[in-house]
Amino acid sequence: MSKKLKPIPKFKDEAAERKFWETHDSTDYLDWSKAKRVRFPNLKLSTTSISLRLPLGTLDRIKIAANKRDVPYQSLIKVWLAEKLDSE
């Protein structure tokens, strides 16, 4: 038997909604067993800069591979990392 869900209140703004969800359990309002994964492929991804130390030889090999593909080496690193994560 599933429990009766409470109706989600209307909020005057995003700050009020944020405050509400910080103090309430969403399982009282949503049946998460019916949730489905979705993707938003057209959203602009936010990025951040990182500092990464690589052996000089490794960086040189990456730059050569990027040059052969006519892409910036930083872009090639991002593509390779994304491909590896997707294959995991």
pLDDT bin (cut points 50, 70, 90) of residue 2 is: low
What distance lies between CA 37 and its chain's CA centroid?
Answer: 13
Residue 1 has pLDDT above 80, yes or no: no
User: Two tokens at 9?
Assistant: 């209140």
pLDDT 10s digits, 4-23: 999 999 999 999 999 999 99
d(CA 29, CA 4): 9
pLDDT bin (cut points 50, 70, 90) of residue 24 is: very high
pLDDT 10s digits, 29-71: 999 998 999 888 888 878 889 999 999 999 999 999 999 999 9
40 or 27, which is more confident: 27
The ranges assigned to domains in the chain are 14-87
